[in-house]
Amino acid sequence: MESINFVDVFQGVATLVAAEPQIMLGRIFLMLLGFLLIYLGSRNVLEPLLMIPMGMGMSSVNAAVMFLEGGKPGTLFVDPLITDPLQLINILQIDWLQPIYTLTFSNGLIACLVFMGIGVLLDVGYVMARPFQSMFIALFAELGTFVVFPFAIGLGLTAPEAASVATIGGADGPMVLFTSLVLAKHLFVSITVVGYLYLGLTYGVYPYMIKWLVPKHIRGISMAADQGPKISRSQKLIFAVVACTLLCLLFPVAAPLFFSLFVGVAVRESGLENFAKLLGETFLYGATFFLGLTLGVLCEANTLLDPTVLKLLLLGMLALGVSALGGLAGGYILYFWSGGKFNPIVGVAGVSCVPTTAKIVQKVAMAANPSAIIMPHALGASISGVITSAIIAATFISVLR
């Protein structure tokens, strides 16, 4: 019997030892980062439905590097950079996540499925009850997008690359995914991973930012008395149909996303309970799970260890931070405009991570004043943020494509 070669048996260890130092350290770091994401997700510090599969994928793919044909290191998970049709057909029969990536990521389908589910969860009545207020806040909460775009160009990114990373400022993961696929496919993996990782900022950093910048007596302002007009189901359905048609007419490049979002709203308001359950549970949970899982396995060290990624990390953090400051600025304008009746922290909810940012500002308000109710206003701003981020992304794509 021939002697067993250690390299042939334990290829994960062998490729780790044989790799260049920065790749080896990068793989170890990403495995540990995967552990951290799983822990934070299990403790509900970050969104568990997204972060647990993402952390599992990240740690596993960086452990499972092996020697492929010709001694080239790789995995049996997915190859995001393959372009040759014949190679793609072959790899679809080998890499187990390749069909999901090729048939749902590379064409934006995964983003559309998530948007359908989100649409079912959205009550557009909050926007319709206070349209000016909600859209005003949402526009201010896009400040990070507008600031980062020229800043990214100044750092050497092309206009399409800059636009793709700037959309992180809207805190809308599917929108970041869709925009980067269209405008900067070569940076799609890095931009999308950075975008979703930094959504953790909304959980961990925004509450402290609010407390630093808004005095306690202002944070505790309650707006429970401002109920707004009652919006009927038929009015919400009409709004969904008209808004969808108008936005598709103006921005056909983003029509799949607009359609997906508003078809979810239409299903909700039409009372189609079976469809609502299908879109809001099966589609949304399934798409989000595979979104996190696939993003995790795309975080292989060889893919992410690129000098450009450091720029993306910094720009993503800047975009989300500036957007929160912009939202607060808009909130303070309405606070003074209303004579001190509007709670300015609602502005942070305009950063459209629905419904996370709305929950955050409600929690911060109740910490300052247990009887403070600002959730309806916060949800209106947050839902408007989804619409404005889609419009801005569509504008970028239309101009720069």
**Tell me: the pLDDT tens digits for 28-76?**
999 999 999 899 889 877 778 888 999 999 999 999 998 887 778 888 8
Q: Is 251 contained in some domain?
A: yes
Please state, as a whole number, how many other Cβ atoms lie within 10 Å of the Cβ of residue 100: 18
Domain boundary residue, one of 75, 92, 127: 75
Domains identified in the chain, total number: 2
Instruction: Please give the Cα distance from 15 to 19 (Å, whole number).
Output: 6
33 and 182 co-located in one domain = no
At residue 250, the 3 state secondary structure works out as helix
Range of the domain at 70: 1-75
Q: Is 96 contained in some domain?
A: no
Q: Is 334 contained in some domain?
A: yes
Mean pLDDT rounded to a whole number for the chain: 88
On whether the CB atoms of residues 353 and 327 are closer than 8 A, the answer is: no
Q: Is 315 contained in some domain?
A: yes
Please state, as a whole number, how many other Cβ atoms lie within 10 Å of the Cβ of residue 377: 27
10 and 133 co-located in one domain = no
50 and 158 co-located in one domain = no
Domain boundary residue, one of 52, 75, 98: 75
On whether the CB atoms of residues 168 and 157 are closer than 8 A, the answer is: no
| Secondary element (H or E) of residue 354 | none
16 and 119 co-located in one domain = no
Whether the full predicted model's pTM is greater than 0.95, yes or no, is no
Q: How far is CA 365 from the centre of its chain?
A: 25
294 and 335 co-located in one domain = yes
Q: Is 83 contained in some domain?
A: no
Which of 38-42, 104-108, 345-349 holds the top average pLDDT? 345-349
Residue with tokens 């589609």: 283
At residue 66, the 3 state secondary structure works out as strand
242 and 291 co-located in one domain = yes
Residue 67 pairs in a beta bridge with 73
- What is the per-residue pLDDT across 363-372, written as a single tens digit (0 to 9) for each? 999 999 999 9
Instruction: Please give the Cα distance from 372 to 285 (Å, whole number).
Output: 32
185 and 229 co-located in one domain = yes
Q: What is the dihedral of CA 102, 104, 105, 108, to 10 degrees?
A: 130
